[in-house]
Structures are given as structure tokens and as C-alpha cells.
Structure 1
Amino acid sequence: MDKKTKTTTAAPAISPGEHVNSQSPVDSSKVSPPRSSARLVPREKLHGLLQDARRRRCIVLKGPAGCGKTTALVAWRQMLLPLGFDVAWLTLTSDDNQLARFLDYLLASLAQVDPALVRDALLVEGYSSDSEAVERTIITLVRGIGSHPRELVLVLDDLHTLTDVAIHQALQWLIEYAPNNLHVVLVSRSVVPLSLARLRSQNLTMELDLRDLRFTYDEAQQFLTAHLGEISPQEVQVIYDMTDGWIAGLQLVAVSRKKSRQRPSLTTPDPATTQAHLRDNESFAHFFEAQVLAQLSVPDLDLLLNCTVCNRFSASLCAALVGRPLAVSEARALLQRLENDNLFLIPIDSHDDEGWYRLHPLLRETLLKLFSKRSSEEQQRVHSRAWQWFRDRGQLSDAVMHAVQGGEAVAAAELVEQQVERLYAQGDLRLLIELVKLLPMEQLQASINLRVLLARMQIYTREFAACSDNIRRLQHDIPEGNSEERFRLTMVRALFAVQRDDTDGALAMAPELLDPPPGADVIMVGGSINILSWLYMQRGEHERARQLQFDRPPLMVNGMPLIGTTGGTLQGRCLVGLSLAMEGQMSQAERIYREVIYEAERSGKTCAEPLYFAKALLGEVLYENNEVEAAYELLARSVDIFERVSIPDSVLRVLEVLAKCQWALGNHREAFAYLERLEEYARKLDLPRLQAHSLARQIFWHLQLGEQVAAETQLARLDVLDARHPNSERSALGDIRILTEHAHVRWQAALGDVQGAQLRLNKVMALCESGGRKLGIPRLTLLSAMFDAQRGLVDSARDKVLAVLRVGHRYGQVRNLLDADPSALALISEIALRETLDPVLAFYVERLQATQRKPESTPVQPSKPGWQLAPGMEPLSERELEVLRLLAQALPNKKIARALGLSHETVKWHLRHIYSKLGVSSRDEAVARLRDLEANGEG
């Protein structure tokens, strides 16, 4: 039997004690392994094949409906568990043939094994469905699985129901990037729509078909005996021959034989006729109708036909679907009878008092065809009853889906509008996105509230062009007198401006944000306060930014304080910490960030956004304290998440800190790779300020390495960027002018024009002062002291260094000073040696000097010489050889990155250098060159 008996235990939480909300669109019965049947037939040969293949990357089971694919895996699962394997299960249906929904179910199934597997991927997934975003979700998921201490088998049952090519691509990435402890089992009625050629060539796959899955004669005899009792070998042979070992066919024949024995008046089916009925799916449906459905009364058949519109059902739902809500006991009796008669009705475990069931997929297919022959009015009535039942029980996704199919899209839209504030406060953004997608576009356009919600969701999913168009039309359509809707729209416009790094545009809305109407949405009020705090900080008004948070009114949602989301108090506290950090008060900021992280982790998914915002800011503080490894460890694993869920300013901080960590550790190529990633992110989203930060840092480091041509190239690009944004000193774009001027300071100093560099540096410091960018002043002052020292102005250099030390100590700065220049620490030590410092400053200098134990700017050299190429050509390093050898195995860049523990960008960096050293321009040429070198013994 291919009986798929499921359980409905809720998917585990993302944090201990937190349960998946009942409003979740995930049907938990689909992500739980089926229960094994007490009458399973032992299949030693098939199970032996599966056991031998348990550590292969991919296992494929392909065969027609009812050939025992699922049943075989149920038994195999029981064998794997004692061997230390974990098994995640996902039963797919045509309802999952949409990328975001599929990813939801994929993550939910893995969360059943361990929530930590998907903790990071859950935050990446759901915000966008573009190819790059999906690939990042898969990569994040793969990293989570790779850190799992046990072998993990992922079963994807009924894969044939998914035809979306985007889903196929996501699965292709999952298999290609899979860590060694992940083993994917694909179960399908048709050809698996993935490329497995590489896995086949590496003996990493096993594929089974109907020849492997069908019962042997002995297995058929055991099955029939278990279901029919005593049966002659001749009768077994007849049934086996006409079913050809097809398990569902055996089950159906057993059912009909059992019925015929119970009803002597009925004629036993003719073997030839039965065999003809079992040859294809269409004939099988006819057989199903004759042997199962024909034996039901009209009311019983009507009940099953109505139930088929739902993936699962209970007695009370069945009674509601037939329009007789009081007939629960009748429905329960029928379901129990069908289960007892083994008529393809599958019981599901549940946590409520009702028994839940699902139809065998074969039976449901047959019933759906019959249901589709009803009039459209009758079909809509059934969906309408389903929508009301699910609505009354708070199951939003099912309710909205059936309401739309039942012709009640208006009511569905009203339900979504009523739930927006609560779901948003709970952090259920992915469910909101799901509900928005379920509603017809004409219904969305008919409601101002839903159009505003759609604009918010478009910001989260990075659909900026569509969001801009939506906002423009809303500005025209919302009446001026509708103050509440105008405020909501203003808040969305401000949020959109912040995501576009448009400080001036957001500041223009400040008067409206400061004056919310009395009935304003509390989520929007909280968000406006946080946006205003951030905007004031960009203008250097740090005290004003903090005061907004201290004065914020208590905001309640359903009687609970608004803590999570971008509008909650935790996000506000992060901003208070950031305002202190921007003034250089790192110690105070660190305490706030750590408190926020502690509270956010305890609160679960409702506080995911402030959690990652606080982590990004804490990483900056850790780096500043010279806790380089700790900063890198905190941020590196979640960089994909930051890029998907954080505002641009947060992404900037994360990628800059990661780059600086690598630089401080001597990993210069990896450091440049993070800067290139920042620039790529900035170009993709059209964020010139972030691009300027990347270019400026690249210039500094190229000059430190003596690469003046590369530095000059990037400086020219930075000048062009600066010219496009004149008169922007009072906005966030003012960073571009400061960064450009600072880059020219470094360039002039590198050329020996120290006096010119000093004059230009004074201009940079004035710009920082006027813009409230106090954090950079000590570093620039120290650089000025170094210029004075080079020009022989000893007293001026001494005074500036002592002033910097006082400020640096007061604010707890370390890397901010050390990063001013490779020689900064030497100058500080020289002056400290000549001066009599008070004990506090002397201790601070010792702290700075202690950082000398870590390499500051010396590139990592290979432990032994790399391959020597032609005379005059730079040899390949050991790391480059590792990359090249993996390249020769036809691995994609991301797979190479995972194998070597590098970032994707670092691998691309290595490849560029490899191509340059080998004098080639493509992967194929590089691999060919490798083989030439190995053949000639040059390795």
C-alpha cells in the first residue's frame, strides 16, 4: 500500500518555547513523517538497496501512483533512526507549486528535525523571489544543515506535482550545494526535472523505478494474506499476474475481493477485466469508481466529494461542507467506517479533540475530477462553507484561499485588513505576503488599506519599481481629508526612502511623521518614531534622536507592548545605541546592543529584525574593541540575512566590518572581496553612498599595498560619483563628498605632497564637524598629527596625539585610531615614550600597543612555494591551487567557497588572479592549463 499517513504536530519553534502560530500557512501534517502501518510487508531487497545508498547525495524513487514509494520510505526511515540519522519529510501537492510557498514548506519540514537548521534561512526567505535571493536562501540553508552534527535525510514526496521552473532551480541548487551530511530523496511519478548527470558520474546518486518498487510474488502473498486471511497460491498468482506487483492494484483487488466475500451475491471481478482496468491512470480511476465509490450511499459520496476541496478535514468540517453543520456525529461515523474498511482514507494525528483525515492522493484525484463536473455555483457554495469554517477558527491562509475560490474575495480582503496590525506585530511578514498574493489584484486595487499594505510588502520583497508606482497612485487616490490613510502612506513613503538611502526625501516628510493623527495605526506610529531617530542621526542631531525614543508613548497591539518589528521599542533602543556610537561612545552602545540581543532572542520571530540590527551594530563595536575574530564570527554566517532584511546603512556596516576584520587578520584578498560585495550590493540597488564607501576603502588599501595604478583607477571612479551628488553635505549622501576628499588626502600623501594633503585634510575635518560625524574626528586628527610629524612639526604632532588619546580613551576607541594609518601606533608609542602620561592614558596606550600581536597589514604568504610558472610570472599560491583543483572537478564557485570555507566573492577574487597568472580568460582554459602543468611535472 502507498498509504501516506501523516501527523500534524506543529513545526518546532525558532526559539525554545515558541510555537508556530496557528495562522501559519504551513499545513503541519505535510511536514511530518507518515506513520508506519502495522501491516507493512517487509521488503528486504528494496530496503537493502536504500540502506546501501543512505550516504549518497541524492536518491530517486520514480514510479506510477500507488507503487509503494512512500511506504518503502516509511519503513526505511525506521531503519535510519537507530543509525543516528535524522529524517525530514515533506509531502508536496499542487498547492505548493509556487516558489515562496514551496520554500515555506521546505524550511518547515527541516525545522521538524532541528529549528537551528533553518533559523537563518527563515529570515532570508520570503522577502524576495528573484533568482539571486532564492539562491542565497538555499546557500544559507545549506550552511545551517552543514553545521548540524548528524546525517540528515530530506524526503520530498510527490515531486511531480511541482512544475514551476523556479522551484526546480531551487532544488538544483540544494542538491549541488549540499554538504556531505545532507541526503535528498526525490519521490516522483514522472521524470525528475533536475540535472543529475554530475552526481551520476561521481556515483553520488541511486535511482529506483517500478522494476525495483513492485512487489515480488512472495511479498504479494504476504500482503494478500494480511488483508484477506487464507488465500490459495493459485488465487495469489492470478491477482499478482493481473496487477504485475503494482501495490495499489493489489490493494484495490484485495478490497474488491473482500467485498465480494462479504456479499455473496456480487460476482468476483473477472481477472482479465481487472487487469485491463489497472493498465493506466484513467482506467484506474474507472476501477476506483466501480470498486470503492459505487459502494457508497449518495449522502456518503456527496460528503467525500465536498471534502476533496480541502487538503485535510475533520468531522465538523465535513458536516459544514455539506451544509449540515449539526450532522457532526454522522460525518464522524462515516469517516470511521471508511477507515475501518481500508478505503483509502488516511487518519492524521492531531492535538485537538477531533479526528483528522486526508484522502489518499489517488482517491482525491478521482474525486476532484467528479467535483469539477458540478456547476460553478455548487462548487462555489462548498468553497464558501470552507472559508467560513476556517475563518471562524482563525486559519487565515485556508480561509482566504477558499473565500476567493468561493466568490467572496471582498470578505477575504476585509479579513486580511482586520488582521494586518496583529500579524505585523507578531513578525508574521511572510504570512502577510502569502495573504496578499492569495487576493485577486482587482480586490487589492479596490481597497486603499490593502494597497498601502501591498506597498509595504513590496518594500520587504525589494520590488522597488512596483512599490514606487503604487505609492505614486496612492498619493493621487487618497483624499487630503483622510488623515489616517495619508499618515500611513507617508510612513510607507518614508520607509521606502530609507530603503533607497534617500535621507533628503525622508526628511521632507518629517513634519508629517511628527504629527500622527489620533487614530493612527500604532505600528506606523512606532515606525515613524524610529525613522525620525535615524534621520536625525544622519544630520548629526544625536541628542534629538535619542530624545524621540525616550519620549515615545506606550504603543500597544492587542493589549501587548509593541516590542518587535521595525517600529518597536527594541529597534528604538538599537537606534539609541547607534546614536551613542556615532558620537564615539562605544562602551555605552555595546551595553545597549547586548541587552537588545538578549531580549530579542528570548522573544523569537517577532523580534527578528531588531535582533539582526543589533548584531550588525554590535559587530561594529567588537571590531572597534579589537575583538576581530569575535566580530567576524558574529557577522560572517549571517551576511546574506543582513542583505535581505536590513536597511542599507546596516548592510554597509556589516560588510565594512567584515572587510576590516579580514584586513586586520592579514587576509587582504578576502578583505577586498567583501568590499566588492558591498559595491555589487550598492550597484544592484542604486545606492551611491554605499558604493562610495567601498571605493574609498579600496583606495586606502591599494595605497598601503603600493598599488598606485589600482588606487588611481578607483579614485577616478569615486570622483565621478561625487560629481553626480553636489550640495549634499546635510544628508547621508554627504558621506560621498567626505569620502572623496579623504581619498584625495591619502592620494596626495602617497605622492609625497604632505602639505597639500594636510590642507585637504583640514577641509575633511570641517565637513565631519559640520555634519555631526564625530566618530571620524579622532582618526583624522591622528592622521593630521602624522603629517605634522613628517613635516617636522613635533610639538603640533605631540599635542594632537595627546588630544586624540584623551578622546579615544573617553570613548573606548581602539581600531578607529589604529586604522588611521599603518604607522599610527608607532607615532603614538614614540610620543608616549617621550611624555610623562598619567596612569589612565598610559594604560590606554598599553592597550593600543597590545594589538601589535596581530598582523596589521602583512599579506598572508603561502607556507611553501606555489607552482612555478614561466619565468617572470608570479607563482600560484597554495590556496589558488586548491581553488584550481576544485575548478577542475567542475564545481560551481559557491561549492568551491563552501569546500574551502571562503566567501563566494573571495573565490571570484582568487579566480581572477589565477586567470591572470595563467594567462587565460575562462574556466575551461584554466583547467586545461592545470592539466598541462601536471602532465609536464611543473606541480
Structure 2
Amino acid sequence: MTQPDLGALHEGLIASKLAPPMQDPRAISRAGFVARAVDGLPLRRLIVIVAPAGSGKSNLMTELHHAFVEQQVAATWLGLDAEDNDPATFALYFISALQAIEPGFARDELTALGANPVRDYDTLFDRLGNRLSALSTPGAIFLDDFQHLSDPGILRFLDRLAAHLPHHLSLVIASRHRLPLHLAKLLVSGLVTEIGQEDLNFSSSEAEEFLSRYHQLQLSSSDLQSLIDSTEGWPTGVQLAALALRRHKGPAAELISTFSGRDLDLTRYLVESVLQAQPEHVRSFLLQTSPLRRMRADLCAAATQQGDAQAMLDYIGQANLFLIALDREGQWYRYHHLFAEFLQHAFRKIDPAGYRDACFRAAQWCEVNGYPTEAIRYALDAEHFELAADLIAHHAIRASLFRGDHYTVRDWIRLLPVEFHTRRPEILLSHAWSCAFSRDTTRAMEVSQRAIDLLSAEQPRAWDLSTSERDRWLLWAHTVQAATKACSDDIDDCLTRATALFAQVPGTEPFLIATLSNCLSYGYFALRNFERSREYALSAHEQGHRADAAYLSAWGDFLHGMIDVELGQLRAASSLGQRVHRDSQGLGLGQQSYVAGLSALLDAEIAVQHCDFDRAMTHIEMGRAFKEIFGPVEPQLVALRNEARLHASRNRLDLAVQVLQEGQDAALREQHRRLYLALAQEEASLQITAGDITGAAATARRTRLLDAESGNDIASRAQRDALKLMEARFKLAYGDAKSALRLLTTLQQTRGAESCGGFFLTVTTHRAIALWDLGQQKEAARQLNRALSAAAAEFHAYPIFAAGRPLLPVLAFISERRADASTQDLKPLLDLQQWLASNLRGDRGAIHTEEAFPARAATETVESLTSREIELLRLLQAGLTNQKLADALLVSVPTIKWHLHNIYSKLAVGSRGAAVAAAVRLALI
């Protein structure tokens, strides 16, 4: 039987909900329904089973599921309960279930939900619907206990799914109540198979077979008919009557005659007859285990305080007391919903304190045995909110701040009454952190400020903290606010807060140091101050590992890698991407995907910069999730920009524009002005590259792109320079090469421009085009050669390639003068030159970058080392320590480590001595 990859489930999900119950070999087959359902598969169809509890819906669903699988149709299963009537929870389970039909289905959305709960569920469900429409594998989706769903967003999604089922997909739904879906048109079209209560009721022959198989009962024809009449063939009614008959001392007719098939109390009467017929210790066990959503022997022993739990479970199973196995090993069970509901109601009525005590003991067992989510839910069922709050306080900091498991933390907080949110500072701070990283930064600031106010009060309510503890938690709270400002892209405020806090945090707090280092690195990266950003990224990596917070280290390495990309050091960036991936191994399965997403974003960026779009695609699939769930702007920008560039590389400018405009809409909703402008620039740039000048002009007008510089919100030099570059591209497109050259010359002469990698390459390339348009062919060739020489060692092709076809005449001019050049020293440059010319002409087969790039790694040229790195090599030769190197160069020790990292990478060495030897051999020093 096809099953989803349960090993990869989010930590909070219950695997047994994603598998059908075990088929009971004694079950009465509904072969007629099954035969009609699978006839002519695969075909689009909707099967709806609506009947009261105990009608055999789940048994029929299980039989149908088995039949679909036997017909080579991939079938998935989702058993719903009341907690699934939440869009985030439903989406997590629904996507996880769909893995049985197509492994990896909606991986982006699943990764996103596992990391953070999104808030725009309509958009999420629309995307799921589109992905389902694209399925070609024959499949069937089974949704059991649909009556638990009433959320409007979930129902809208399922309505659309039912109305627009792909040809090879079937949907099978079972519910106690009439479906709140709009099925009229489908019914008229004959696409719906309806199965109701009357269809499921036992006939006399089926009831006779059931009584014989399950209970070894033989009734006379008249008694059997009386039983059918009194229960109306209701399967559970027959089952409960049989249990009562087995214990009844008199004639069967005597008991049967007291039943009324239309008696509203029939269910309670029959169940009470069964319950009261059990020995006291069995009755007590049934009641005390009724609160358990799922159970096994040791959990039952804890809840009941009885030592014979396994024997009791064996007895209950043999006695057919509505016990359902959830796995093949017979470790986990649950009661039939009807039976469990009755038992819970009876237990609450008979002994409300006992019910709460059983839940309390279950919570304690789950806490000790590693089921924190269930422990918290049982504590809430017990109305023991103090325990629930303490459990949340114990687990939430690690889950949220150290592992980034924001979905679980927000779910816990949702279930905890508001008045208990302030029981411990850990609850407030983990809640605020998870809100910040779930695009709810306003709420994050409110919650963290509440913690600060309580910690700053003379006598913090219910917090028995020493002065040092209060000071420590205040530092944590302010650090959470600094991180929140980073997530909301309030860069100036983030840097101000983080800088002040960084000076206050003691060295004994590596988590806070790593967090603040990431805040500072992120802020300086946004301002394109790469030197400062790199210094703090190194600190974040080191301190994150000291704190055992791998995802903080991964963030530092991600930022570090993005700096490498910006500076054109793609090989060094690639090694950092691998390090992020290694960091992810230390986290749980759900968070491994989360941190691996950072690695995927970085890998996609590197592949795009190499113009290796085929390789980029594999990474974009995973990294795309961040545009949906992650707060900070930079990961969203990387994900959206590279997805758009991938579409553009395949001549699908329409899809590229769609991706970027959807991102702009989201940026406006989240009030991320910087992201909005960057995406608008990317849209116009891709349109200019594709020759769609009219479209680019429309984009500029719609987004007010070219007049944005006059706005007060354009504060950073990096943003102003990007807009000047955009203006220059427009002037070139309109034939005003002279004005364009003036702007580009100013940008090229900006302090530090030549060390800014991709930006320098873009400016220099467009300056070459402007010079060519002005008739200055030799100077144009010199400018382009300058860009080619800087990019060749790392095959940093995209900034040059993105200039588009206007570059072709300049490339042709250079090629003519290099016709006889074939030296090994020029090979990287000639490879890049040839690749650009071929691909800009539309011939994509000349050189495959994935093959060419590794070959160049062994033939690194002198040009790849900066003057600062060569100066450092000379000092290395003198044997200076890192501190003395830092003093000599007037930089920090982390910056020295960074330079050494780059030198080792470029020279393909692993030590100081080897670096000096290589430099001497290459005549660098």
C-alpha cells in the first residue's frame, strides 16, 4: 500500500492520521460499491459517503482505498479531527498526505508551513489547487471524518478542488453531516457517486454474516429481522446489540424487543448496556483511557495507574470494544469515535476530577517520553493551564529561537488561554520571536514589549527572578526586538538597537551574540557595506555553534555567502552554501528543510550568476518557499529574482513578470518598500534585456521607478546607485547614449565600485555599450575587456549576459582582434567571451558552464587575488599572528580570517604555509 514518507513529517504531525485503518479480515465487504467506484479507472470522479457515526463509513473508505491501490492508482489518506479545522494544520496534513500520490508534492509549501505558519491561506490554497491541476499521475484523495471542517478558507479550497478535479484524480469523502460544498452542478453532470445511510445499513444477510463472524451468534430468522427493524440495519447498532446479547441471560427476543430504531437514546442505551456489562476494572480502564487521542500500553498505564494495561488492551480488542489499531505492530490504538465520545462524556459526568487527572497523567507521560505537543494538549484538556504554560515555557525557547520551529510554537500559544501567556518570560519571548519570523512583526513587537514592561516593573508578576536573571531576560527581550526590526526591514532601527546591545551582551551569552551578529550583518548587507557585514557574519557562525543554535550559524553563513556573490567570489560562496547544508544536519527533520532552504537560495544565486539555469532550477524549487513564509527581505528578494530570471532565460518573460508582480503585491502588503523597489527594478531590467522597452516603460510608470529617487524613503547609497543604473539602462534603450555614459561613469568612479563584483561588472558592461553607441569602438572594447577579465576566473557571466544583445557588436569587435589568441593564460577569458557571444545570439550549446567551471578551478589566475590579499600574503611570509596581521592592516581579527579564507580558496590550499608557497611559486610575493 502506497504511503507518504512519514519519516519526513513535521514534528507535530501524527503519522497515523495519514494512513487508513488496518482492514479487519472479518469486515463485511461492500463489494458492490467498490466495484462501481473502481470501474474504468483512472477517471475523474467524486465519491461522497454521508451517514451518522457508526454506519461503517471508515470501513468502506478503507476497502475503497485498498481497491484503488490494487488498480495501480496512488491513493492517499487523511483522517480528520477537530484540530484540523485550522488552515495551517489542515494544509500541513493535506500536503503531507499528497506525498503518497506524488513524492515531493508542494515541497515548497510544505517546507514553508513546517517552518512558519503563513497567514495568506487563500493564496496558499490557490497554489495547491494549481499544483493538483498539474498532476498527471492517477491518484485518489481520501478524506475521512469531513464533518470536522467548517473553516471558510478550507471549504473554498475543497469546493474548487471538487469542481475542477483533474482527469486522473478522484476525491473520496466521508462525513457524518451533509457536505457544506456546492456540488449541484457536479451531481447533474453525473460525476458524483453518493452513498448514504440507507446504502450502508446491513441487509438481513449482511447482519447475519456479521453476527456470525464477529460474535459467533446465530439468531432465528424472526429475531434477526427484529434486530434489523429495531436498529434499521445501522452497523454499530447491530454491533452494540450483539455485545449486549452475548451477556444477556434471557431469550434474544426479550432484549431486542426493548429497542426502538427511531429512539434518539438508542446510541446511549446500547453503549451503556455494553459498558455496564463490563467488569468494574474494565469499565474503569475504558473511562480513564477515553481522553487519549491515541494510546499504547505504557501511556494507558500512566493515565489509569493500572499495571495491566497491555492485557486490558488485548482484552478490549478481543471483545470487539471498538478498538482500532493504528499500526501493523499493534503498538498504537484509538477508540472508535462514537465510543470514545460516549466514554468521554460519561467520564466527565461521573467523575470530572478523574477525567482531568487522567489527562494530567497523560500529559506527564508524554512530556517524559518526548511528545511535547501532545503533552501540552493533554494539559489543556485537563484544564491544568499552569502545567501547560510551564511545558510551553520549557520547550518553546528551544523550538523557536534555537531551531526556528515557529509553526509549533504559535500553535501552542493559540491553545493556551491569554491570561497564562505571561506566566513565564520564555513564553512571551518565544511567541514574539516566532511572530517576527512569520511576518507578524507588529504582534512580535507588542508581545516582546509586554515582556520588557513586566521585566522592568518593580515586582514582575509571578516571576520569581533575581536581579541578574531579570537583566538577562531583558537582554533577550531587546535582542528579540532587534531581530524583529530586521524581519520588518527597518534597517536603521535594527542597526541602532543591535549595535547598542552588542556592547552590553557578555561573552557568556553566545546565542545573543550570534543573534545580534546576524542582525548587524543583515543590516550592513542591506546597506551594501560588505566589509562590516562579513565581519559580523563570521561572528554569527562562530557564536551560533557555541550556542548549539545551528540555524543561527546557517544564517551567518548564508549572509557571508551572499556577500561573496556580490563581490564576485562565487567559488567561496559555494563552499559556504555547503557549510549551511552541513549545519542543517544538526536540526530536526522539519527544520532541516528550513535551513536547507537557505543553502538552496544561495546555491540558486550562484548558479544564476554562472548562467547555469538548469542547475539553478533544482535549487529554486526548494528556495522558492522562502518567498511565502519568511520575514526578512533578502531571502525573499533572492528567491523571487532568481525564479524570474529562470523564466526569462527560457524566453517566458510573461511568467517572469508574473512572479515579480506577485512579489511586489506581497511587498506592499507587508510594507517592505525596499523589496518593492528591488523587484520593480528587476522587472524593468528583464524587460529591457528582452527588448520589451514598452513593457519596461510601463513598469517604470506603474511603480514610479524613475522618480523614486526623489522620495525621502530612498536613504541608502546602494539604493540610489541602483536607481541611477536603472536610469542609465533606460537612456541607452531610448538611444541617449551620451546621458547614459555620464551616469555610468559617475557610478564607475564611486568609491569602492571596482570591488563590488556584480555591480561593477554591470556598470562597466553597460558603459562599454554606451561608448560603442557613441562610436568610440576601441574604448568600448577596453571597457568590456575590463569586465571580462574581472569575471573570467569565476565565470561570473550573468552581470554581463544581462546587458542583452546590444553587447554583441562589442564582443564581435574583441573576438576579431583576439582571433589568434590561444594561450592557456587567456583560456578562462576566451571561454567566457565565446559563451557570451554564442548565448546572446541564441546558440546555447557552445560551452556548458557546469563542465567548464570546475576545470578553471585548477588554473586560477593572478587577477583573482586582490591587492589587499597580496599584501596579506607578504605579511604571512613574515610569520605574523592573526592579531598582529590585524594591527598591521588596521582591520579586525575576523576580517583577517575572512581574507585568509578567500586566499586559501583561490589558491586551493589549506594552510598558511601552503598559501605562502603557492604565492612564491606564482611570483605573487
Q: Could you give the per-residue CA deviations for residues 838-881 of structure 1, whole angstroms, max 9, x where no partner exists?
A: 734465244333345446799xxxxxxxxxxxxxxxxxxxxxxx
For the residue of structure 1 that corresponds to 2:793, the secondary structure is helix
Q: Is residue 358 of structure 2 the alignment partner of residue 382 of structure 1? A: yes
Report the 3-state secondary structure (helix = DSSP H, G, I; strand = E; otherwise coil) of the residue aligned with 1:328.
coil
- Structure-2 change in CA distance of 1:102 and 1:473 (3 Å): same
Paired residue for 1:714, among 700, 706, 712?
Answer: 700
> For residues 475-874 of structure 1, what are the structure 2 equivalents within 5 Å?
475-479=452-456, 482-512=470-500, 514-515=502-503, 517-518=505-506, 522-550=510-538, 561-563=548-550, 565=551, 567-568=552-553, 570-594=554-578, 596-597=580-581, 600=584, 604-636=589-621, 639-645=624-630, 647-702=632-687, 705=691, 707-708=693-694, 711=697, 714-715=700-701, 717-725=704-712, 728-729=715-716, 734-735=718-719, 737-766=720-749, 769=752, 773-834=756-817, 839=823, 840-841=825-826, 844-854=829-839
Counterpart in 2 of 1:90?
78
Task: Report what 2:6 is aligned to.
Answer: 12
1:493-513 deviations in Å (ceiling 9; x for gaps): 232222222222221123245
Tell me what 1:920 maps to: none
- Equivalence for 1:294: 276
Q: In structure 2, what is the Cα distance between the partners aligned to 1:806 and 1:656?
A: 26
Q: Distance in 2 between matches of 1:640 and 1:175?
A: 26
DSSP 3-state at the match of 2:233: coil
1:394 corresponds to which letter in structure 2?
A: G
Higher deviation after alignment, 760-769 or 483-492: 760-769
CA gap of 1:269–1:321, structure 2 versus 1, over 3 A, is farther
**Secondary structure of 2:141's partner?**
strand
The secondary structure found in structure 1 opposite 2:729 is helix
For structure 1, which runs of at least 5 residues remain unmatched after alignment? 1-5, 15-19, 859-939
Alpha-carbon contact 2:555-2:598 (below 8 Å) kept: yes
Q: 1:360 to 1:632 in 2, by over 3 A?
A: closer
Q: Distance in 1 between matches of 2:335 and 2:153?
A: 28
Please give the residue correspondences for 1:69-108 in structure 2 after superposition, counting only pairs within 5 Å: 69-108=57-96
Q: 1:284 aligns with which of 267, 274, 284?
A: 267
Aligned counterparts of 2:534 and 2:412: Cα–Cα separation in 1: 36
Structure 1 equivalent of residue 855 of structure 2: none
For residue 432 of structure 2, give the secondary structure of its aligned residue in structure 1. Answer: helix
Do the aligned partners of 1:533 and 1:544 also contact (CA within 8 Å) in 2? yes
Instruction: For residue 34 of structure 2, give the secondary structure of its aligned residue in structure 1.
Output: helix
User: What code does the residue aligned with 2:592 have?
Assistant: C
For 1:312 and 1:698, how far apart are their aligned partners in 2? 52
CA distance in 2, matches of 1:404, 1:151: 42
Asked if the contact 1:124–1:136 (Cα under 8 Å) also holds between the matched residues in 2, the reply is: no
TM-superposed deviation, 1:581:
1.0
Distance 1:191 1:522 in 2: 56
Distance 1:10 1:816 in 2: 42
Rounded to whole Å, the distance in 2 between the matches of 1:595 and 1:635 is 18
| TM-score, structure 2 normalization | 0.81
C-alpha distance in 2 between matches for 1:817 and 1:554: 35
- Residue 471 (structure 1) aligned to one of 448, 455, 473: 448
Deviation at 1:650, TM superposition (A): 1.8
Q: Which amino acid aligns with 1:728?
A: A
Q: Is the 8 A contact 1:780 1:820 kept in 2?
A: no
Q: Deviations over 1:79-116 (max 9, x none)?
A: 33332233332222234333333334334444577763
Match of 1:423 in 2: 399
CA–CA distance in structure 1, aligned partners of residues 527 and 270 of structure 2: 76
Structure 1 residue 186, shift from structure 2 partner? 0.8
Structure 1 residue 404 corresponds to structure 2 residue 380:
yes
The Cα RMSD (Å) is 3.6
Contact 1:455 1:467 in 2 (8 A): yes
Q: Distance in 2 between matches of 1:457 and 1:117?
A: 26
Which deviates further from its counterpart, 133-142 or 443-452?
Answer: 133-142
Aligned residues: 824
The corresponding residue for 1:196 is 183
Native 8 Å contact 1:309 1:383 kept in 2: yes
What is residue 321 of structure 2 aligned with on the other side? 343
Structure 1 residues 54 and 191, CA gap change in structure 2 (3 angstroms): farther
Equivalent position SS for 1:292: helix
Rate the CA distance shift 1:11–1:782 in 2: closer, same or farther, 3 A. Answer: closer
Could you say which residue in structure 1 is the equivalent of 2:899? none
Q: Which residue of 1 aligns with 2:349?
A: 373
Task: Tell me, in whole angstroms, the C-alpha distance in 2 between the residues paired with 1:707 and 1:555.
Answer: 49
8 Å contact kept, 1:315–1:328? no
1:866 maps to what in 2? Answer: none
TM-score of the aligned structures, taking structure 1 as reference length: 0.79
| Pick aligned residue for 2:20 from 14, 21, 33 | 33
Instruction: In structure 2, give the amino acid aligned to 1:339.
Output: G
Deviates most, 81-90 or 513-522: 513-522
1:373 maps to a residue whose letter is K
1:582 Cα deviation after fit: 0.9
Q: Deviations over 1:576-597 (max 9, x none)?
A: 2221111112233234325644
The alpha carbon displacement at 1:134 in A equals 5.3
Are 1:609 and 1:645, in contact at CA under 8 Å, matched by a contact in 2? no
Distance in 1 between the 2:671 and 2:634 partners?
Answer: 13
Give the % identical residues.
22
Correspondence for 1:915: none
Shift in CA distance, 114/694, structure 1 to aligned 2, threshold 3 Å: closer
Aligned to 1:211: 198
Following superposition, the deviation at residue 411 of structure 1 comes to: 2.7
Question: Which residue among 16, 20, 38 is the counterpart of 1:51?
Answer: 38
Shift of 1:521: 5.9
Counterpart-to-counterpart distance in 1, 2:693 and 2:758: 28
Structure 2 partner of 1:328? 307
Following TM superposition, by how much is the alpha carbon of 1:239 offset from its aligned partner in structure 2, in angstroms? 2.3
Cα separation, partners in 2 of 1:612 and 1:339, compared to 1, 3 Å: closer
Name the CA distance, whole Å, in 2 between partners of 1:534 and 1:299: 63
In structure 2, the partner of 1:936 is: none
What's the CA shift string for 1:119-172, capped at 9, x where partnerless? 43321225666663454267358738966x853333221111233333323433
Contact 2:28 2:206 survives alignment (8 Å):
yes
Q: Structure 1 pair 726/347, CA: closer, same or farther in 2 (3 Å)?
A: closer
Aligned-partner Cα distance in 1 for 2:426–2:196: 52
Using the alignment, how far apart are the partners of 1:30 and 1:660 within structure 2? 40
Deviation of 1:602 (Å): 9.4
Q: Distance in 2 between matches of 1:553 and 1:817?
A: 32
Mapped to 2, the partners of 1:589 and 1:428 lie a distance apart of 27
Counterparts of 1:186 and 1:48, CA distance in 2 = 17
Structure 2 letter corresponding to 1:79: A
